[in-house]
Chain A
Amino acid sequence: MANVADAPKDSFRLSMLLYDTRYRSLTIQVFVFFLFMAGAAWLVDNTMRNLEALGKDFDFGFLWNRAGYDISQRLVEYTNDSTHGRAMLVGLLNTLLIALLGCMAATVIGVLVGVLRLSRNWIVGRLMTVYVEVFRNVPLLLWILLIYAVFSEATPAPNAFRPNPETGIADRSMFLDAIAVTNRYTALPNPVFSRELGWLDLGLFYVNMDVLAVIGAVIAGWFINRAVKARATRIQEATGERPATWWSSLLLLAGLPVAVLLALGFHLEFPELRGFNFVGGLNVSNSFMALWLALSLYTGAFIAEIVRAGILAISRGQSEAAFALGLRPGRTMNLVILPQALRVIIPPLISQYLNLTKNSSLAIAVGYLDLRGTLGGITLNQTGRELECVLLMMLIYLAISLVISAVMNVYNSAVKLKER
């Protein structure tokens, strides 16, 4: 009787490369590999021939040449004598700044609107629906241009804040005596430390030690607070009595940073109209404000929908079960609802943060010099090195995206459902 072991042993034939599923995938991959290599070689060859024909080379040496242009908003030392590489750094930091502030504001707006849209209040619900639909269905570029137009066309010149010499009353008054929105910049109070700790040299740029100290205090407070809570849990598990930790939490999370701020002499410098301009405060350019507001409002509308979907995804039974177990509403939220909702919310939230970061390259529309404006704009036009500039710019954006998604993925894996 013939059995499987006796099946005729095929000797390898060439046609088996195509018709035998064991070898077919190998054939396809080899074929695709050669196709891919041929395509890549073709592109590289074309590029080399084109560069030769234009008399150009592929060289990043221009990054060490003098830039020769000014950047009005900068986080680190920069003059027009600095190098193109330095200009790129300034642009990169500007991109990161707008992305960070935008993500924070968009999250606040998104969570607020997402929750309010679910509220039983008819007017508020409808208002939020209108906001979400209007912002999601109209291009971001329009919001940037429109908000920029509001800032530059519908706000008064700094002069309007000057009191009339006869009546002593100005056309416009500052909001809370601290904020003045003018057609060129928004004057805000400037946070300063009266006790300077000096600057830390990081090689590329300097970092204010005062700011570092405050950040250090916040982080230290957070970690100590975690240790205190862990100890309370241990005691609770051992004795059944949980020691009160609210006062130590308050001291560590709020008291410690405030104490450090006070020790360093933190205070606000208020802007004052002198001559034709506000001085003393922080003059934030309108291009920054418009870009920041537009990015936050636009992305906030998307985040609102994500938050709403996340909350709706948790069935009522979950909160009812928590109440049946005798959990108080606060603990129900913390222990039952939020962990499950966050699982749904975090992954799309990551991609919204990434979108915001990438969309910040629209800064060019209002003349805010971010990475796209310096490296991919003025530097590119001045040096004529399109290939190097665009490739470098793409690589940097890619690196930022990968870092953000890596960090958020770590957070995501911390909150996601622990399955078997």
Chain B
Amino acid sequence: MSDTHAQTVPFVRETMLPPVAPPANEAGVVRWLRQNLFSGPLNIALTVLGLVAIYYVLEGIVPWLMRSVWTADTLAQCRQIIAERWGEGATGACWAVIRERWPQFLYGFYPNHLYWRPTLTFVLLFVALAPILFGQVPRQLLWFSLAYPFLAFWLLWGGSIFLPLVAAAGFLFGWLAYGLAARFGTIPAVAAAALVPVLWWLFLAGDVSDDLARLTGRSFPLWLEEVRSDKFGGFVLAVTIGVSGIALSLPLGIVLALGRRSDMFLIKALSVSFIEFIRGVPLITLLFTASLLLNYFLPPGTTFDIILRVIIMVTLFAAAYIAEVIRGGLAALPRGQYEAADALGLDYWKAQRLIILPQALKISIPGIVSTFIGMFKDTTLVVFVGLLDPLKGITDAVRASTDWKGIYWEPYIFVGLIFFAFNFAMSRYSMHLERRLKTDHR
């Protein structure tokens, strides 16, 4: 072949051509632009529309942001400064309101000299979360995570340290009772572990903690200045409700999901009706129940804290949604996993704990985290039962003062940015967790 070719063609190249750079419009920025922005008439139209939209948004916001005022005492003063610097009729952002009132947005009406307590609680939250969220942290820190709820309660609400300690003792007694009753069999042990703490909390705990508190007096290491719930507000309130709700709703949601898939008719019926009822009504009506109706449902004369009531309702609400998410995860597991657990001779709880739930929860992570994000956003609804949430409660309180009457955008932007940061971080963490727990090779 090559011979004939050599005879018919006058010239044959014998060396390789050196590689030539691609044409200018097929390389670098130009190529990227051509591929991503101007590949066809529709694409060009979309690009132009997108640019126009960006221009309109920026045209409205950038000059407003550029003319920011950071130091002023009132909104009127702010506007005066803007008018002086950029001429009459110019509009600008007045961040002075954030500079002056940021403690209220963060802490509500928590006493000024006690700001260190919520701050410390918040910092410790991350220490307590670290061993749960990240695998590299030493396991011993989990003991701190267990103690954290009681510590946080004491730091936030103050009072005698013995109240949370006595409450925690109930769990300890339950654990001891389980250990002592274990030699009589599993069922007496479980019954003892459930009964002893309940009896302790109902009949003894109150008196014991009161007596201990009286004995030790109101000195610093054992007693902190009390802060009533109506002083809570801003992000302290939102994070308190959000984190408690998240921590409590996950176990409850798992129990509800297992209940819904149970073979026992009554358990299943109760779980289904609870889940469907909660999912069928808006959170606001449940919060209303907490603030208006709980007094009807409890024995006459009982009063308990409004924040606690809201936490209970938010927990029940989120638990129903989480139960549905986890039910999806349970349904997605192949039947073989259940059958394998049975074949190994595992009983129901061991099968759930060792085989079913670890896989089902892994599948449900995105759904669970988005439920958490939804719940954290929903903490703003507590404003409708008279609590000072950062969004409407506090901004209304700030606007109620004559100094800042009529300021709208800056507080909303500030609060929105903080919510965005929290929720965005949560969603990114869930993506990280999905990658970390991924065991298939795709």
Assess the B392–A32 pair: CB atoms within 8 A. no
Q: Is B70 an interface residue (CB 8 A)?
A: no
Most A C-beta atoms less than 10 A away, residue of B187, B276, B384, B415:
B384
Q: Is A247 an interface residue (CB 8 A)?
A: no
Assess A386 versus B50: contact at CB under 8 Å? Given A134-B420, A137-B419, A139-B378.
Answer: no
**Residues of A in contact with B (beta carbons under 8 Å apart):** 18, 25, 28-29, 32-33, 36, 43, 46-47, 49-51, 53, 116, 119-124, 127, 133-134, 136-142, 145-146, 149, 153, 354, 358-359, 361-362, 364-365, 372, 376, 386-387, 390, 393-394, 397-398, 401-402
Assess A398 versus B297: contact at CB under 8 Å? Given A28-B267, A142-B391.
Answer: no
- Report how far A394 CA is from B289 CA in the complex, Å: 10
Assess the B298–A123 pair: CB atoms within 8 A. no
Assess A387 versus B377: contact at CB under 8 Å? Given A137-B420, A146-B412, A361-B282.
Answer: no
Residues on A with beta carbons closer than 8 Å to the beta carbon of B263: 25
Assess the A138–B267 pair: CB atoms within 8 A. no
User: Which parts of B364-394 form the interface with A (CB within 8 Å)?
Assistant: 373, 377-378, 380-381, 383-384, 391-392
Residue of B nearest to A148 (CB): B408
Residues on A with beta carbons closer than 8 Å to the beta carbon of B80: none
Residue of A nearest to B277 (CB): A398
Q: Is B423 an interface residue (CB 8 A)?
A: yes
Give me 5 other A-B pairs in contact (C-beta within 8 A), A50-B295, A362-B381 excluded: A46-B298, A49-B299, A120-B43, A142-B391, A142-B419
Residue of B nearest to A119 (CB): B46
- Pick the residue among A36, A142, A153 that contacts B415 (CB under 8 A): A142
| B19-49 near A? 1/0 per residue, CB < 8 Å | 0000000000000000111010001001101
Residue of A nearest to B406 (CB): A153
Assess the A372–B36 pair: CB atoms within 8 A. no
- Report how far A390 CA is from B295 CA in the complex, Å: 13
- Pick the residue among B36, B267, B281, B380 that contacts A32 (CB under 8 A): B267
- Pick the residue among A18, A33, A142 that contacts B266 (CB under 8 A): A33
- Pick the residue among A120, A123, A364, A398 that contacts B54 (CB under 8 A): A123
Residues on A with beta carbons closer than 8 Å to the beta carbon of B90: none
Q: Is B7 an interface residue (CB 8 A)?
A: no
Q: For chains A and B in complex, what number of residue pairs have CB atoms within 8 angstroms?
A: 150
Assess the A43–B297 pair: CB atoms within 8 A. yes
Instruction: Supply 9 A–B pairs (Cβ within 8 Å), ascending by A.
Output: A29-B266, A121-B47, A127-B54, A137-B427, A138-B377, A139-B377, A358-B282, A376-B288, A394-B289
| B296-340 near A? 1/0 per residue, CB < 8 Å | 111110000000000000000000000000000000000000000
Residues on A with beta carbons closer than 8 Å to the beta carbon of B383: 141
Closest chain A CB from B290 CB (angstroms):
10
Assess the B39–A120 pair: CB atoms within 8 A. yes
Residues on A with beta carbons closer than 8 Å to the beta carbon of B392: 141, 145, 365
Closest chain B CB from A293 CB (angstroms):
15
* Cβ-closest 9 pairs across A and B: A401-B280, A137-B423, A123-B50, A358-B282, A398-B280, A122-B36, A139-B377, A361-B282, A386-B292
Assess the B281–A364 pair: CB atoms within 8 A. no
Assess the B37–A122 pair: CB atoms within 8 A. yes
Q: Provide the main secondary structure of the chain A interface.
A: helix
Assess the B281–A401 pair: CB atoms within 8 A. yes
Closest chain A CB from B378 CB (angstroms):
7
Q: Is B2 an interface residue (CB 8 A)?
A: no
Residue of A nearest to B270 (CB): A36
Residue of B nearest to A401 (CB): B280
Assess the A390–B284 pair: CB atoms within 8 A. no
Assess the B285–A390 pair: CB atoms within 8 A. yes
Assess the A120–B36 pair: CB atoms within 8 A. yes
Residue of B nearest to A28 (CB): B264
- Report how far A145 CA is from B293 CA in the complex, Å: 28
Q: Is B53 an interface residue (CB 8 A)?
A: yes
Closest chain B CB from A375 CB (angstroms):
10
Q: Is B265 an interface residue (CB 8 A)?
A: yes
Q: Is B416 an interface residue (CB 8 A)?
A: yes
Q: Is B409 an interface residue (CB 8 A)?
A: yes
Residues on B with beta carbons closer than 8 Å to the beta carbon of A146: 409, 412, 416
Assess A141 versus B50: contact at CB under 8 Å? Given A121-B43, A153-B408.
Answer: no
Residues on B with beta carbons closer than 8 Å to the beta carbon of A51: 296
Assess the A145–B264 pair: CB atoms within 8 A. no
- Report how far A36 CA is from B267 CA in the complex, Å: 10
- Report how far A49 CA is from B49 CA in the complex, Å: 66
Residues on A with beta carbons closer than 8 Å to the beta carbon of B270: 32, 36
Assess the B37–A123 pair: CB atoms within 8 A. yes
Q: Is B51 an interface residue (CB 8 A)?
A: yes
- Report how far A50 CA is from B279 CA in the complex, Å: 28
Assess the A47–B280 pair: CB atoms within 8 A. no
Residues on B with beta carbons closer than 8 Å to the beta carbon of A120: 35-36, 39, 43
Assess A138 versus B420: contact at CB under 8 Å? Given A121-B47, A149-B409.
Answer: yes
| B171-199 near A? 1/0 per residue, CB < 8 Å | 00000000000000001000000000000
Closest chain B CB from A121 CB (angstroms):
5
